[in-house]
Amino acid sequence: MSQTSPNSASIDDEYFRPHYHHESFVNELSKNAHYDDLTLALSMADAADRVSSTRFGALDLHVEDKPDHTPVTDADRETERTLRSIIAEHRPGDSVYGEELGKAESTGRRWILDPIDGTKNFVRGVPVWATLIGLEVNHELIVGVVSSPFLHNRWFAVRGGGAYMGMDVDHASRIHVSDVSQLQHASMSLSSLSGWKERGDRDKLIDLTDKLWRLRGFGDFWQYMLVAQGAIDIAAEPELDLYDMAALVPIVTEAGGQFTDLEGNPGPWGGCGLATNGRLHAKVLDYLR
């Protein structure tokens, strides 16, 4: 149920209605300095999807609790091994920061991997999970790929080349954030409330959500991709690691949005994340910091 109804007089100005038409962007993107890195990341996503998809819903799926009380499965580890083997073959000088198999410091070029973002969904049979692949070059997030095989969707971006939704550069739609500029017309997604309580900001968050048009819990990677494609306007989480965010940042920003921590510092470095369409960012920060 909606909290409030947007003013009908402003619908044309405030509602962004995405239109997706797949076409080839090979000629355009091939001019980008990091095109080869993007195509490698997309091929890595293909390989990851093959591994993770075969284990989704498997009766013999092995699940363990990590020290932080989050689950890890054999599918998480095997997917990350697959990604690391491709990097070792094609980019042997690059370092790797992964959720399951080691977090290396950057050598100037570093791949940042979350083999299965949404492991709790994966374990319970909820089809909202994805592999996240980010490339950091000299402390800048250059390439991002988010591949969700059971949502039958993929999002990707390269610095200076735009953001896209589609399986590869030859079959994709360019995506953009929304034009919504007022909180009372905005749609926001959260993953949970517990982290906000631990941070001491839950009351601030609730005050913010009272001002919105709509609040839903799409969660994890998906809420940030919905911001990038203009389907919602705000997504935020109070507790995140670098591997949760690195792939998301280029996609959100190349789609025209903003990605910061909850203090307003750009990028995925602050242990938390806020993504908006940009027009709402300062207003949301006013409530949350």
Instruction: Report pTM.
Output: 0.92
Which segments are annotated as binding site? 99, 114, 116-117, 244
Question: In this model, does residue 8 exceed pLDDT 70?
Answer: no
Strand partners, 65: 71
- Could you say which of 3.30.420.10, 3.40.50.800, 3.40.50.2300, 3.40.190.80 is the CATH number of the domain covering 177-288? 3.40.190.80
Q: What separation in angstroms does the CA of 178 have from each of 53, 65, 99, 231?
A: 32, 39, 31, 7
Q: Which superfamily is assigned to 26-174 in CATH? A: Fructose-1,6-Bisphosphatase, subunit A, domain 1 (3.30.540.10)
Q: Which residues contact 80 (CB under 8 A, 6 or more apart)?
A: 98, 99, 100, 101, 113, 115
Q: Which string of b and e fits 240-270 if b means at least 16 CB within 10 Å?
A: bebbbbbbbbbbbbbbbbbbbbbebeebbeb
Q: In b/e form, how buried is each residue of 65-88, taking b as 16+ CB within 10 angstroms?
A: eeeeeeebbebbbbbbebbbebbe
Tokens standing for 66? Answer: 């990590």
Per cent of the chain over pLDDT 70 is 93
| pLDDT on residue 234 | 98
Yes or no: say if 58 and 64 are a contact pair by the CB < 8 Å rule. no
Q: Check pLDDT > 80 for residue 17.
A: no
Q: What pLDDT was estimated at residue 25?
A: 95
Sequence ranges of the chain with CATH classification 3.40.190.80: 177-288
In the chain, which ranges are continuous DSSP H helix?
11-14, 26-29, 35-55, 74-90, 119-124, 194-199, 202-209, 220-228, 242-245, 248-254, 281-288
Residues of the chain with CATH 3.30.540.10: 26-174
> What is the overall mean pLDDT for the chain?
92
CA distances (Å), origin 130, targets 69, 213, 285: 20, 28, 28
Q: What is the pLDDT of residues 256-276, one digit of tens each?
A: 999 999 999 999 999 999 999
- With 80 as the cut, is the pLDDT of residue 12 above it? no
- Binding-site residues for Mg(2+), in ranges, read 99, 114, 116-117, 244
**Per-residue pLDDT at 18 exceeds 80:** no
